[in-house]
Chains A and B, each alone.
Chain A
Amino acid sequence: MIQTGVARGTLADAERGTLYRVRRRVTFFARHYPLGFAGGVLLMMMITVAILAPLIAPYDPLGQDIPNKLAAPSSQFWFGADNFGRDVLSRVLYGARISLYVGFASVGLATVVGMLIGVASGYLGGVVDLVIQRVVDMLLGFPGLILAMVMVVAIGASLNNVVFAIAVVFAPRVVRLARSSALSIKEEPYVLAALSIGASHIRIMLRHILPNALAPVFVLATGYLGTAIVVEASLSYLGLGVPPPHASCGNMIFAGSRGTLEAAPWLSVFPGLALAFVVFSFSFLGDALRDAFDPRLRGT
């Protein structure tokens, strides 16, 4: 009976209105994929906390308080304080904000650009396809982190450059998937029908192929969000990511590991836990969505 999961909908549902349908799908998802649902709920919470960081954070994440330098976790500083006396909890809250921003922005950019290129590549075929696929092959030949590093070295480290560098890592993977969907969709009768009534290629790509190729790409992208956040943290850890004074989990861990790892372990433990929490949530949600959309992969 677990057929197509989330994508299921019947005529009776359609008559009952959108709200009912959404609620039904959510309860279905929650019942069959409890871990994925929990991941989704946790993520919602994290996103809310990240957005509300200025209201929730007990201190200014950049405010130095030298007398409380390296203060251990206490009721005053829940996660302790760093070597400038800055409150680690406040910095983690703001750091989560940056991590989530980089994750969503880079994967979003990769998805939009990758979708457009992939659909064009698959639909148009011929030389366009050949050239695009060679470029994709080439980009996939780079170890992901190294590609991002090289991009950052070339264009300089800033918040948006890091987003761009990570998007370059993920875009070719999206192109691959979108292309293969486009290849099968373009043989569908409705595409031929659109073509026969004189629709332009642009219209067919944007109105017919793109929307139908969206679901698998969306699922893939959810899975990539966590990975993108780890890539950002890794870049920051290597000193090539989001530049200070921005508090990113990666550069907090890096700063905490330089000379103060033993004296003040909270400097790298808490940002790392926060990072792990976000990535776990994404990977549970991503896996569940993938299973729901593709029953053949269930339980892998």
Chain B
Amino acid sequence: MRRYIGRRVLLYFPTLLLASMAIFAIMRVLPGDVTQVILGGDQTTPRALAQAEDLRQRLGLNDNIVIQYFRWVWSMINGEFGGASIVSREPISEIIARRLPVTLELAAWTTLIAWAISIPSGVIAAMYQNRMPDYFVRIVTVAGTALPNFWIALMLILIMLIFFSWTPPIFYLDLWENPVQHMLKIIWAALILAWGYSSYLTRVTRSTMLEVLRQDYVRTARSRGLRERAVVLRHALPNAMIPVLTLGGLQLATLLSGTVILETVFSLPGIGQGVVQAATERDYPVIQSLVMLLVTLMLTLNVVIDIIYAKIDPRISYG
């Protein structure tokens, strides 16, 4: 067990290092000079050449590539996060400080809503297998996994616009500044993300419940004359929760993909929107650092979940 955890943690660092190299390399495979892409236009006038040279100096592009890499990695560790944006000149550490809480809050609401919906609906679907409630849950969950979430978001905005003549607030306000407007802005994205996320969780809950409900100890519980509710809630559910927790946790990491697009649709100033904005503006230092931040978050989350899983499931021994 301890060896398993040790191995898992040891593998985490090379993976992180490899990811940083990959991100750094991808941002430099661009054909031609990166300054040309950023500045655009005619590059032959003396003024443009001086401008390009200045930019190159500012980005540290005149140094050896290895030195550039290590400088970037060090700045990621010491909290500078790779300097400043080349478009707005805002320090990336400030961009992250401003944007990360929004994404984390969105993820937190999504997780909360999704778990609150999916456990009961998964259990109900399993209890009424192949009857109306089950079919209903299955259709809703298939829709939740199949429909593109940005399209659902647009349809939601459209419906609110047509039937209630209402649109979400245009500006994002801090939770403490104006809680009502803040919630009206963030809740839609959270609800739509939660539909997708809970669809997956519901399906997993349903299938593990179905499996557990067929176990001998559940039959024993029933034969002792326990009410169905006690059988399901006290005997079956806790055992069905283990795989749900793991898969749900792993899925939490992919939730980050969803935040990218929904933050853009609902103009929530989070990390995902920041990546998209940086990508359209070709703001390389920002893309590089924000993507690294997301990948670090995801890899860390995966390690933590693996360790928790190894701890809570006594049936599995790891060599």
Residues on A facing B (Cβ under 8 Å)? 134-135, 137-139, 141-146, 149-155, 226, 230, 233-234, 237-240, 253, 257, 261-262, 265, 268-269, 272, 275-276, 279-280, 282-284, 297, 299-300
Q: Is the interface of B mostly helix, strand, loop or mixed?
A: helix
The answer to whether residues A272 and B158 also contact, given A149-B275, A280-B142 and a CB cut-off of 8 A, is: no
Residue of B nearest to A234 (CB): B261
Report the Cα distance A268→B159, complex, angstroms: 13
For B155, list chain A residues within 8 Å (CB): 269, 272
How many residue pairs at the A-B interface have CB separations less than 8 Å? 129
Q: Assess whether A141 is in contact with B148, with CB atoms less than 8 Å apart.
A: no
Report the Cα distance A154→B256, complex, angstroms: 21
Q: Assess whether B287 is in contact with A150, with CB atoms less than 8 Å apart.
A: yes
Residue of A nearest to B26 (CB): A154
For B39, list chain A residues within 8 Å (CB): none
Q: Assess whether A135 is in contact with B260, with CB atoms less than 8 Å apart.
A: no
Report the Cα distance A268→B27, complex, angstroms: 33
Q: Assess whether B151 is in contact with A240, with CB atoms less than 8 Å apart.
A: no
User: Which single member of B151, B264, B287 contacts A276 (CB below 8 Å)?
Assistant: B151
Q: Assess whether A150 is in contact with B23, with CB atoms less than 8 Å apart.
A: yes
Q: Assess whether B253 is in contact with A143, with CB atoms less than 8 Å apart.
A: yes
Interface CB pairs A-B, < 8 A, 20: A134-B11, A141-B19, A141-B298, A142-B291, A143-B254, A144-B254, A146-B291, A149-B279, A150-B23, A154-B27, A155-B29, A234-B148, A234-B150, A238-B260, A240-B279, A261-B158, A262-B158, A280-B143, A282-B146, A284-B142
Q: Assess whether B261 is in contact with A145, with CB atoms less than 8 Å apart.
A: yes
User: Which single member of B150, B161, B264 contacts A261 (CB below 8 Å)?
Assistant: B161
Within the complex, the shortest CB–CB distance from A211 to chain B, in Å, comes to: 30
Report the Cα distance A238→B294, complex, angstroms: 18
Q: Assess whether A275 is in contact with B206, with CB atoms less than 8 Å apart.
A: no
Report the Cα distance A239→B150, complex, angstroms: 13
Instruction: Indicate the member of B15, B161, B207, B299 with the most A CB atoms within 10 Å.
Output: B15
Report the Cα distance A138→B14, complex, angstroms: 9
Q: Assess whether B18 is in contact with A262, with CB atoms less than 8 Å apart.
A: no
**Quick check: is B204 within 8 A (CB to CB) of the other chain?**
yes
Contact with A along B264-295 (1 / 0, CB 8 A): 10000000000110011010000100010011
Within the complex, the shortest CB–CB distance from B159 to chain A, in Å, comes to: 10
User: Which single member of A138, A276, A283, A299 contacts B210 (CB below 8 Å)?
Assistant: A299
Report the Cα distance A120→B29, complex, angstroms: 27
